[in-house]
Chain A
């Protein structure tokens, strides 16, 4: 990535190089011209897509510092002066602080529960043979391909009957339940890939199965736990459909719902700048965390599909 010089000795793949002495025949020259067009086109596409991804995000950040009038009269210009008032208004008056707190609470609980229950189930399914093992495994894994909305209709009433409707602990349990399929699927194959000898040694030394799991196997499974933990964190933090159906009380809304709510209500009030501030406020922490933990996030999110 540092050097751009082309090596005369290297063979040509696309033929950006002028035909050298070695391959100076007519077809090669044709190919080279073709390669150049292809090259410009491909690079253009790469740059265009990067632009298309980054522009809307930058636009949102810039817009969050403008006045409402500026937003409508000149959507693309820079603000005359930075309106930090938008941000404070969104944070306190538009309840962004509440939404953040609710989300933290729910995701904190559900992430912990998902990781604990998911790794327990996966460990047993990966390491112990017993009748019904495969059946239970496929029961979990099958949940990944089912359309969740189908279950949500009865679930809404199940929750209300159990007194869990519109409660944080109810939402936490549901998040855990719907995160288990992928977590179990991923961690089962991860536990299988760990060596058995360490656990056996611990067991021979008199450690119980439970102790072996918590003090030997979990620390060994740390890379897998981090990957699936990041995956679950983002999935649960960004969750929209589950809370939309199950968590309808205004003051209990989580971040994604709250923003949509905000869009509706600010639309009436005409406070678009406050809404943009809210959007950016929700966007930046996740983007910042991604840039810092880039390698782990990418590994976590792509790990499942590469298995």
Chain B
């Protein structure tokens, strides 16, 4: 296998490496460099300003708000989404009544549920956001008119217009659109857990709750952990940008109540002509993302269970 090996390797790697280096790695390096300059993005001139942008970060109230919201996203969204998904997946795969042939089984119609739950995953986040922006419309949206229909005329929240509610509305949309993916993911993981384990637990008289915490969750832990990282990156990145950018007034409003870090980067760079400061915020986002991934990996480390 030696003949012409290196020529082949170089030939095959050259194009992908070149594209990847030019359009992904190079901009990343550049943006870290730019965070130490006063580049506006409007003109090619700039000079080094040291840590000035970072000093500005610390006194920027909107940055702190965005950071706070992004942190809330990254802490809460995986918890809620994965929690719901684990519950649904457990019900669909293990929660059913018992048949003669097997000790455990899913509830009736579990394949229907799996298909339906997965719907949001194939839709563009832009479509989902637009759809919910209408549903949340305070005057003629689906939610408020449904409330009216059941006699709750007095409960007509402004939803996205209410600074106290808007962020939760946005988070609900992200939960709505991601739970199904994790249900299906965890279902696949649960299907590979040997049935004997459940049978043994049953013989010992374990309840469903015990079975979940003592058997399913530990054996599924690797999948849950990678799902956790995946969901966190999503909550910090492109998905949260799209949802906030499309759904909220401003975007990021009302009164900066929904602004998140990726949105702030975008606005500073492409609306306010402060490209260098935008990259500084981006660097902060990078730090948060890497810290999150490191914490989850660290906390999640357990002895790997072989089965």
Contact = CB atoms under 8 A, between A and B. Distances in A.
B111 interface: yes
Which 9 residue pairs of A and B lie closest in terms of their CB atoms, listed nearest first? Answer: A150-B282, A238-B124, A256-B126, A177-B23, A151-B27, A209-B8, A10-B98, A154-B30, A121-B16
Nearest to B180: A53
Nearest to A42: B91
Contacts of B293: 145
Given A130-B9, A302-B188, A50 B30 contact: no
Interface SS, B side = helix
28 contacts: A1-B105, A1-B110, A7-B98, A9-B100, A11-B205, A50-B116, A120-B12, A136-B13, A143-B24, A146-B286, A148-B238, A149-B238, A149-B282, A150-B279, A153-B269, A154-B34, A155-B27, A158-B23, A178-B24, A180-B19, A184-B16, A208-B4, A240-B124, A260-B126, A263-B133, A282-B127, A287-B119, A297-B122
Given A238-B126, A241-B238, A151 B289 contact: no
Interface residues on A, range: 35 or more
Interface residues of B, number: 120
Interface in B71-120: 84, 87-88, 91-92, 94-95, 97-100, 103-120
Contacts of B112: 50
Nearest to B177: A53
A76 interface: yes
A128 interface: yes
Given A139-B25, A150-B279, A306 B223 contact: yes
A305 B15 CA distance: 27
B207 A7 contact: no
Contacts of B208: 13-14, 35, 38
Interface in A259-307: 259-260, 263, 272, 275-276, 279, 282-283, 286-287, 289-291, 294, 297-298, 301-302, 305-306
B290 interface: yes
Contacts of B189: 306
A287 B283 CA distance: 37
A84 to B, nearest CB: 21
B270 interface: yes
A46 B179 CA distance: 12
